[in-house]
Chain A
Amino acid sequence: DTGVSQNPRHKITKRGQNVTFRCDPISEHNRLYWYRQTLGQGPEFLTYFQNEAQLEKSRLLSDRFSAERPKGSFSTLEIQRTEQGDSAMYLCASSPDFGTGNTGELFFGEGSRLTVL
């Protein structure tokens, strides 16, 4: 399967702990996105990478959140000092560059569900 892969699928942690999620995009996709989805809501944009460069960060991404894509392939999203309000599904998506078959479609992984106790 060459789709977007996210790990772990589920994470339960205690408040104050750090957590890290990993996303492996579709291999030929240069663009990578992180979204957060809470119960009853649509995905909310968090951040966007073009290759290894992080080009946009939402105001939703507080200082406790950091995302990296060091070699332009997989990406990690780390949350430090987790709070109960961080409980959500964290979705990763990828897409090709515009001009290389990109029609705006995002290809999503199955998400990483975080529960902060």
Chain B
Amino acid sequence: AQSVTQLDSQVPVFEEAPVELRCNYSSSVSVYLFWYVQYPNQGLQLLLKYLSGSTLVKGINGFEAEFNKSQTSFHLRKPSVHISDTAEYFCAVSEGGGFKTIFGAGTRLFVKA
């Protein structure tokens, strides 16, 4: 069965500092990997996804993530964060071609001035 572990429940960081949000997954088959962002009182929206090919994927708002198959990780990074990046970030996995997407518990990114 698939599972997703987000290693940090909260990440406080100062504005313009770099940030990494960690995600590990487990699955017995090939997977698609996603990061979603949720702003207060809003639904989730896709930041980026890995389906196949290059292990470094770039998304919206300057975020990128790297797929590491040997470590079953998909960590999200941004070199310089803004106050507006304060939100909840969810890592998610679906088995390739499957309909069910499993989400991690989320990491709350809090950007301080």
Contacts and interface: CB of A to CB of B under 8 A. Distances in A.
Contact of A41 (B42, B102, B106): B106
A105 B49 contact: yes
A109 B104 CA distance: 19
The 5 closest A-B pairs by CB, nearest first: A42-B103, A108-B43, A104-B32, A108-B44, A110-B43
Interface of B: 4, 6, 9, 32, 34, 36, 41-46, 49, 51, 90, 92, 94, 97, 99-106
Interface residues of A, number: 25
Between A42, A43, A98, A103, the greatest number of chain B beta carbons within 10 A of the residue's beta carbon is seen for A42
Given A40-B105, A106-B44, 15 more contacts: A4-B43, A31-B99, A42-B90, A42-B103, A42-B105, A45-B101, A91-B43, A103-B51, A104-B32, A104-B49, A105-B49, A106-B36, A108-B36, A108-B43, A110-B43
Contacts of B102: 45
A33 B41 CA distance: 19
A109 B44 CA distance: 8
Nearest to B41: A110
A29 to B, nearest CB: 12
Contacts of A104: 32, 34, 49, 51, 94, 101
Interface in A39-84: 40-45, 48, 50, 55-56
Between A4, A31, A43, A104, the greatest number of chain B beta carbons within 10 A of the residue's beta carbon is seen for A104
A86 B75 CA distance: 32
B49 A103 contact: yes
A45 B92 CA distance: 12
Contacts of A44: 103
Given A41-B106, A42-B106, A43-B90, A106 B99 contact: no
